[in-house]
Structure 1
Amino acid sequence: MCDTFVALKTATADGSVIFGKNSDREPNEAMALEWVAGASHGPSERLHCTYVEIPQARQTFDVLLCRPFWMWGAEMGANEKGVVIGNEAVFTRMPVNREGALTGMDLLRLALERAGTAEQAVEVIVGLLADHGQGGICGYTDRRMAYHNSFLCADPQDAWVLETAGGLWAAKRIADAWAISNRLTLDDDVDRSHPALIDTARHKGWLKPGRTFSFKRCYSDWFNTTFSFSSTRQERCRRQIEPAQPTAAEKLTLTGALGCLRDHDRPGYLPASHLFMDRICMHAANPVSRGFQTTGSLVAHLTPHSPTYWATGTSAPCTGIFKPIKFEPHGIPGTGPVPGAAYDKRCLWWRHEGLHRSILMDYGNRLPAFADARDALERSFIGGSTPTAGEHPMTGCREAFNQAEELTRTWIRRLNAMPVKDAPGWVYRRYWQALSRKAGIPADGHGR
């Protein structure tokens, strides 16, 4: 379960394009934040994706990826041309292919490696969908999890939403702002679509005689779409990025985008207090109705000449710290090796879990204590995100990652020394304790 948004120049305070996504996956499904270099390839070269091999492109772009550690594909990312993409699981009436095919995450990464604009990204995904289809198991331990996909593609000038149902699809150019979640959002006002889209709906009886075609009405699977609570999250996100009749002061800012990904809907939120997946900043609580956790977050601040990407590289954006990344071929500083299935203190993602899971054990008291320091550090990053004359763009990035790491270590020590004032219920505590034992997370959160 995920949430993705984009606001174009007309909807942002500074006239930039701002994109954001939370990737919600299983709580121990570590996510790699990585930079992968583009390259030239031979005419007969093959590419092995998560499940299948396909012909490789002759040239690929440099890409920044947020990738579940066991997949080839990515949940979200950007390329050297300023294209940024996020995908969503969507549930449709069309059959799901659980066998080998390109996953939605594969399609996303392939588009980033091959497309120079948001519109080209749509064309790449549609072409791959026609040639190879989509499918495959997309869950980490849940080997039943399979779905279709929607995509939000943006660049510094443009943005598109592309939604699929099996091999069928519809796409729309975005005018001001858009938010997608785990549901179809397009009606009949699409700019492009599969040629068989309407006839298929009519043939299957989903489009009744005399009714106007609506992609989401005809193709949505009611049960899974409803009980993903995607409409609640999408509407909450939409209201934050596109308030009704906004004044210039109310238009989306970078700070507002970070806040949107941290949104819990109301003050005083407690992760143990509700049953369903109805918050943008998602916290797992049980294996049945809330088995997903925000495992990675990315915001892209797209300006024509100097895009900046803001990533936590960790789970839970409310307990994570967004750090600036400039698109330079020097990797991502301070993230360590690609994380795996078990705790590894060398990995940024796993190191942060010591802080995250400590906060969960007294969330109402521990998060406010940490949040002021988190916000102050991010404000300093935002104020210094433009390199000074002669400074290499990665210098500020490296320093930001170092400062965030030091703050995390400091607060792990402080929280370990704080008494628990308001512990969550036993069932919730036991759920997270079992997850931590399975991953081998040390009790002190340091791994020493």
Structure 2
Amino acid sequence: MCDTFFSPSHRNLHGNAILAKNSDREPNEAQQISRFPAHNRPQKRVQATFIVVDCPEQVHEVILSKPFHMWGAEMGVNEYGVAIGNEAVFTKMKLGKKNNGLTGMDLLRLSLEQSTTAEEALGIIIELLGKYGQDACGGYQDKGMYYSNSFLIADPHSAYVVETAGPFWAYKRIKSFYAISNVLTLGTDFDQIHPEAKDFAYQKSWMKQDVPFDFQGAFSEPIMTFLGRGASRKQQCELQVPVSKSGKFTIQDAFGILRSHRIKDNFEPCQGDMGNICLHAQGLLTPSQTTGSMVAELRENAQSSVWLTGSSAPCLSVFKPFYFGTSTLNTDVFPQASARMDASYWWQWEKIHRKALVDYFSILAFIQPFQQEKENSWMELDRVLAVSKDIKKREELSQGAIENCLQLVKNWEQKGDSSKFTQWPLAYRLYWKWQNRRMKHERD
């Protein structure tokens, strides 16, 4: 389960478009921040998560946040300032569960690698969907997790929402704040629709022919959509859109939405049901955890900034700036994550997250001053470096941010009271003990 939103340039403080996303995955599914430089694929083929697909010889540089075991990505930005976030949506269209198609994450990465504008990215997703389909497992340990996808696609000038149901799709260009979650949102107000979608829905009696065609009404599957609470989280994103004193939306505002919980005061992770934007797993009815977050500031005439946590629970994490053309994310200096505790950034910061499951308020009080001080400081430097040609300075900013955060991890041992774990509900305690055992025994 995930949440993605877009704020257009005209309503933002610095006049740049903003796309943000929380990626909600399984609790032990490490999410890796990766940069792939522009390069050639002379064979014009690439191995995606399950299948080999055609691709152009030249592909663009991308910065991605991706599940460690997948080829595709949950969210990302390319060197031309195209940004995409995807969502699982549950529809009446049954998938064959043969893993002979593309995951939504594959579609996202392939589109970023090939596009220079949001409109071009939209066309690539539609083309790939028609050519390969999306019969592909999107889960990690949950091998039964198959779903259709929706996408928010943006560049500095324009943005689109495209929603799918099996092979069918509908899209709309958006010009104001827009949020998507694990629910179809396009009813009768789409710009274009798959040429066969209406006839298919009429034949299935999912829609009457004497009323305006409703894509959401025709294809949405009610039970999983209800359990996913996507409509509630979408509404929370829209209702929470705060503005700064200047009357404009800011990057800090985007951070705040991604960090938000339905319970405003005295929130505890054991209260983390599916209705929270910052999602905390707690058991059978809330099996997902926010495992990575992104806020992308897309500039027309300057370097785009990609702010990523690379860690679980944005309320307990720090957004760090990353840039194109730098070596900060090279694997020799930024270790890749694996299935269990290792030297990667995600697993190192996960030590703080697991500690907070026991004593949330103490750990939050420890982290929040660091969050505010460092993010504000980095943001001031980012304003200067975004228009500078000094790649080395941008690289130093990103590397310094990572080092600052890892240093904080080293100070975590004396924080929190482990005895407080006994205060929480038995089912919650058993769930996280089970997750910790799975983490220790998982194999790559």
Q: TM-score range by the shorter chain?
A: over 0.9
Q: Distance in 2 between matches of 1:440 and 1:384?
A: 39
Task: Report the counterpart of residue 353 of structure 2 in structure 1.
Answer: 356
Task: Report the counterpart of residue 339 of structure 2 in structure 1.
Answer: 341
Q: How much has 1:131 moved relative to structure 2?
A: 0.9
Q: How much has 1:417 moved relative to structure 2?
A: 7.0
The correspondence of residues 422-437 of structure 1 with structure 2, limited to 5 A, is: 423-437=423-437
User: Which of 375, 379, 383 does residue 380 from structure 2 map onto?
Assistant: 383
Task: Report the counterpart of residue 49 of structure 1 in structure 2.
Answer: 48
The correspondence of residues 27-426 of structure 1 with structure 2, limited to 5 A, is: 27-42=27-42, 44-99=43-98, 100-241=100-241, 249-265=246-262, 266-273=264-271, 276-286=273-283, 288-304=284-300, 305-332=302-329, 336-344=334-342, 346-387=343-384, 392-410=393-411, 412-415=412-415, 420=420, 423-426=423-426
Q: Distance in 1 between matches of 2:298 and 2:238?
A: 19
Report the count of equivalent residues: 433
Q: Distance in 1 between matches of 2:416 and 2:364?
A: 13
Q: How much has 1:366 moved relative to structure 2?
A: 2.9
Contact 2:13-2:249 within 8 A present in 1 as well: yes
* Structure 1 runs not aligned, ≥5 long: 442-448
Q: How much has 1:12 moved relative to structure 2?
A: 1.7
Q: Distance in 2 between matches of 1:139 and 1:81?
A: 30
Q: Distance in 1 between matches of 2:44 and 2:367?
A: 50
Q: Distance in 1 between matches of 2:244 and 2:363?
A: 35
After the TM superposition, which parts of structure 1 deviate over 6 Å for at least 4 consecutive aligned residues? none
Contact 1:34-1:331 within 8 A present in 2 as well: no
Structure 1 stretch displaced more, 191-200 or 110-119: 191-200
Task: Report the counterpart of residue 16 of structure 2 in structure 1.
Answer: 16
* Structure 2 runs not aligned, ≥5 long: none
Q: How much has 1:438 moved relative to structure 2?
A: 2.3
1:3 aligns with 2:6: no
Task: Report the counterpart of residue 446 of structure 1 in structure 2.
Answer: none
Contact 1:362-1:424 within 8 A present in 2 as well: no
Contact 1:158-1:174 within 8 A present in 2 as well: yes
Question: What do the CA deviations read for 1:111-147 (whole angstroms, capped 9, x no partner)?
Answer: 0100111111100000001111112111111111000
Q: Distance in 2 between matches of 1:277 and 1:207?
A: 29
Question: What do the CA deviations read for 1:130-172 (whole angstroms, capped 9, x no partner)?
Answer: 1111121111111110000000001111111010011110011
Contact 2:358-2:421 within 8 A present in 1 as well: no
Q: How much has 1:418 moved relative to structure 2?
A: 8.0
Q: How much has 1:41 moved relative to structure 2?
A: 2.6
Query: How does the TM-score come out when normalised to structure 2?
Result: 0.93
User: What one-letter code is carried by the residue in structure 2 that aligns with 1:294?
Assistant: T
Q: Distance in 2 between matches of 1:92 and 1:264?
A: 27
Task: Report the counterpart of residue 445 of structure 1 in structure 2.
Answer: none
SS in structure 1 opposite 2:39? Answer: coil
Coordinate RMSD, CA, aligned: 2.0
Contact 1:328-1:393 within 8 A present in 2 as well: no
Distance 1:240 1:400, change over 3 A: same
Q: Distance in 2 between matches of 1:381 and 1:83?
A: 23
Q: How much has 1:309 moved relative to structure 2?
A: 0.7
Distance 1:183 1:417, change over 3 A: closer
User: What one-letter code is carried by the residue in structure 1 that aligns with 2:277?
Assistant: I
Distance 1:366 1:395, change over 3 A: closer
Q: How much has 1:52 moved relative to structure 2?
A: 0.6
Contact 2:358-2:417 within 8 A present in 1 as well: no
User: What one-letter code is carried by the residue in structure 1 that aligns with 2:408?
Assistant: L
Q: Distance in 1 between matches of 2:218 and 2:85?
A: 24
Contact 1:37-1:329 within 8 A present in 2 as well: no
Question: What do the CA deviations read for 1:30-59 (whole angstroms, capped 9, x no partner)?
Answer: 1111101221232x4321111111123121
Distance 1:436 1:161, change over 3 A: same
Distance 1:207 1:418, change over 3 A: closer
SS in structure 2 opposite 1:384? Answer: helix
Q: Distance in 2 between matches of 1:115 and 1:45?
A: 16
User: What one-letter code is carried by the residue in structure 2 that aligns with 1:402?
Assistant: E
SS in structure 1 opposite 2:212? Answer: coil
Contact 1:22-1:298 within 8 A present in 2 as well: yes
SS in structure 1 opposite 2:121? Answer: helix
Query: How does the TM-score come out when normalised to structure 1?
Result: 0.92
User: What one-letter code is carried by the residue in structure 2 that aligns with 1:109?
Assistant: R
Contact 1:365-1:421 within 8 A present in 2 as well: no
Structure 1 stretch displaced more, 164-173 or 387-396: 387-396
SS in structure 2 opposite 1:385? Answer: helix
SS in structure 1 opposite 2:340? Answer: coil
Distance 1:438 1:235, change over 3 A: same
Q: Distance in 2 between matches of 1:333 and 1:363?
A: 33
Question: What do the CA deviations read for 1:296-350 (whole angstroms, capped 9, x no partner)?
Answer: 1010011211211100111111111110111124242797322111111x10000
Q: Distance in 1 between matches of 2:209 and 2:120?
A: 35
User: What one-letter code is carried by the residue in structure 2 that aligns with 1:273?
Assistant: Q
